[in-house]
Structure 1
Amino acid sequence: MTALTEGPQAGVAQQTLARRRRRADRLPYLLLLPCLVTIGVLLLWPLGQVVVMSFHRLDNVRQLRGDREWPWVGLDNYAQILGDPFFWTVLRNTVLFAVANVALTMILGTLVGLLLDRLGRRMAAFVASCVMLAWATPALTGTIVWKWIFDDTSGLVTWAFNALPDGLSVALFGRSDWTGYGWFNSPLLFFAILTLVVVWHSFPFVAVSVLAGLKSVPSELHEAARVDGAGPWRVFWRVTVPLLRPVFGILVVLSTIWDFKVFTQYYALAGGTQDRPTFMLSVYAYAEAFSPPPKYGLGAAIAVVLTLILLVVTGMYVRLVLRQEGEA
């Protein structure tokens, strides 16, 4: 009789335990549901709309408002941009700009992070606060300041070059009077100044992130490497870099995404979208979509291509980092 009663009770207890486990397994997903819904509404829905627009011919604001139909063109927008030689010039500009900016941002940010790690607590806090001012400054505000610095009449750079002795200025640069010199007229100079602005605005985030990673590295590892006779450079490459590889991986991915999508700094420095030789994909998409006559479908197609490029680049880098972590 006892065995008969214990059998059903044990089965009920097991069922109750199984139900509790299933509820516990579903709890994280339920907690994430509000965040996923928010992301879907604010990110995935607009992205889906852009993809849909890229398959239609949209050249009127009334179409965007829904007052007129959207003529279906299939892949014609993609065929048009991929068959245009100017698109490949813009893609080259974007890739070269992103590679240069990511490299410079990572190098400068890492060096500043190492410096902050070697400073005392008070001095490190002071320097970090000063550095973060660049990160906290809105992109538009910072770009306007840099545009004034390179102003052709009253800018700081123009004043500094005019202050050089005439003989030295002529020997080095071939001119002595820099008033009225167009710093933004040459594509090479424009990209150099744009790179300066973007790196100045981006490296503080890398520096603080590297500093946080350095604080998590046990000091015993560095001391052991020094005891074995390793110099500072060897300690950095053999000890610090492998331990901070996940941090560097995330920073490179984020920097790549940000630098591929640079728009505000470009628009403010160039004063619009008139300088086509310096176009990048983000500016190209905006110009095609909103410059008269507007071509919203074509601009959406360029934006989709840019998104796909970022997904491929990010996926390849994440896969490489995961493979290296697995081998380690």
Structure 2
Amino acid sequence: MTTLTEDTGTAAARETPARRRPRVDRLPYLLLLPCLVVVGVLLLWPLGQVVAMSFYKLDSVRQLRGDREWPWVGLANYTQILADPFFRTVLRNTVLFAAANVALTMILGTLVGLLLNRLGRKMATFVASCVMLAWATPALTGTIVWKWIFDDTSGLVTWLFNKLPDGLSQALFGQSDWTGYGWFNSPLLFFAILTLVVVWHSFPFIAVSVLAGLKSVPSELHEAARVDGAGPWKVFWKITFPLLRPVFGILVVLSTIWDFKVFTQQFVLAGGTQDRPTFMLSIYSYAEAFSPPPKYGVGSAIAVILTLILLVVTGLYVRMVLRQEDE
């Protein structure tokens, strides 16, 4: 009887953990549900509509409103875009512009972040507040100001060049009168000004993010490196950069996404969509979709291609982060 009782108790003890299932707390999921609904309505549904439109031939507002049937063309819009030599030019412009802007934004933002970290609390707060004004300024407002600065008649840059001695201006630039000079007419000069505008608007976020990362680095490591005779450059590459590598990785990905999608600054500086040699993917998609005759399907296909490129960039970064965690 004792043996039977012990065996029964042992079997019951073995079955008890199996019967007890962990209780699932549904409250976090319920709290996230409103956010997921908003994201689905504001992001996923429009994205799905754009993807769907890219497989149809839509060339009128009546078709877009549903007054007429959408003609299915499959991958014809993508084939048309990828076979167009102008698309390769636009893609080259986008990649080169994004690469240059990401590099300049990261370098300038990192330098400003290092400077803020070396300043005292009051001065750092003052400088950071001034720097953040550029980032807080709406892109449209800031671009309008920059367009006035480079205005060909009353702009600040035109005024400064006109103040140069005629002999010096003629020797350096081949002209002495800058009134009426089209600063935005040359594609190379246009991209230089556009880069200036985008970097000016983007680097404050990088600087503040780097500053926040620097505050998490133990000061003892920097002091020990300086005691060992390491200079500022070596301290940065041997201590600061390895510790802040995840921060820099996130900032590079965010900057790449932002610079690939630049639209407002280019649209305002160019005065619309007529300057085709300076097209990039965002404004190219807009021009194809809304310039007469409208081609909403082709514009949607370009937008989908841009989204896929950004997803690839993000995926590569996530894969890199996972590899670093495994190591």
Query: Letter of the aligned partner of 2:78 in structure 1?
Result: Y
CA contact (8 A) 1:149 1:156 kept: yes
Letter in 2 for 1:104: L
- Specify the SS of the correspondent of 1:151: coil
Matches within 5 A, 1:171-182: 171-182=171-182
Residue 17 of structure 1 deviates from its aligned partner by 4.8
State the shift of 1:62 in Å. Answer: 1.4
Which residue does 2:23 correspond to in 1?
A: 22
Contact 1:249 1:318 in 2 (8 A): no
Question: Aligned AA for 1:167?
Answer: G
How far apart are 1:322 and its partner, in Å?
3.2
TM-score by length of 2: 0.94
CA distance in 1 between counterparts of 2:88 and 2:308 reads 15
Q: State the 1:5 CA deviation.
A: 11
- Corresponding position of 1:261: 261
State the distance in 2 between where 1:326 and 1:204 align: 32
Once the two structures are overlaid, the 10-residue window that deviates more, 173-182 or 1-10, is 1-10
How far apart are the structure 2 equivalents of 1:109 and 1:304?
Answer: 31
**Aligned-partner Cα distance in 2 for 1:325–1:171:** 57
> What is aligned with 1:282?
282
Partner in structure 2 of residue 123 of structure 1: 123
Gaps (5+ residues) in structure 1? none
Deviation of the 1:32 alpha carbon: 2.7
Q: Secondary structure at the match of 1:59?
A: coil
- Unmatched tracts of structure 2, length 5 or more: none
1:271 is aligned to 2:271: yes
Check the 8 A contact 1:59/1:295 in 2, yes or no.
yes
Aligned-residue sequence identity (percent) comes to 84
Shift of 1:230: 1.2
The CA deviation string for residues 82-102 of structure 1, in whole angstroms up to 9 with x for no partner, is: 000000000000000000000
Letter paired with 1:181: Y
Taking only aligned residues, the RMSD between alpha carbons, in angstroms, comes to 2.0
Structure 2 CA distance for aligned equivalents of residues 37 and 7 of structure 1: 49
SS at match of 1:272: coil
CA contact (8 A) 1:117 1:124 kept: yes
User: What one-letter code is carried by the residue in structure 1 that aligns with 2:141?
Assistant: T
Question: Is residue 2:272 matched to residue 1:238?
Answer: no
- Distance in 1, matches of 2:269 and 2:167, equals 31
Matches within 5 A, 1:91-130: 91-130=91-130
* 1:232-290 Cα shifts (integer Å, max 9, x gaps): 11000000000111110110000000000000000110110000000000000000000
Task: Give CA-to-partner distance per residue, 1:56-86, whole Å, 9 cap, x none.
Answer: 0001111121111110000000000000000
Secondary structure at the residue paired with 1:22? coil
Q: Determine if contact 1:285/1:300 at 8 Å carries over to the other structure.
A: yes
- The DSSP-based 3-state class of the residue aligned with 1:72 is coil
* Structure-2 separation of matches of 1:195 and 1:16: 64
Number of residue pairs matched by the alignment? 324
Indicate the SS of the match to 2:190: helix
Distance 2:19 2:326 in 1: 39
Offset, 1:223:
1.3
- CA displacement at 1:16 relative to structure 2: 7.8
Deviation at 1:3, TM superposition (A): 7.7
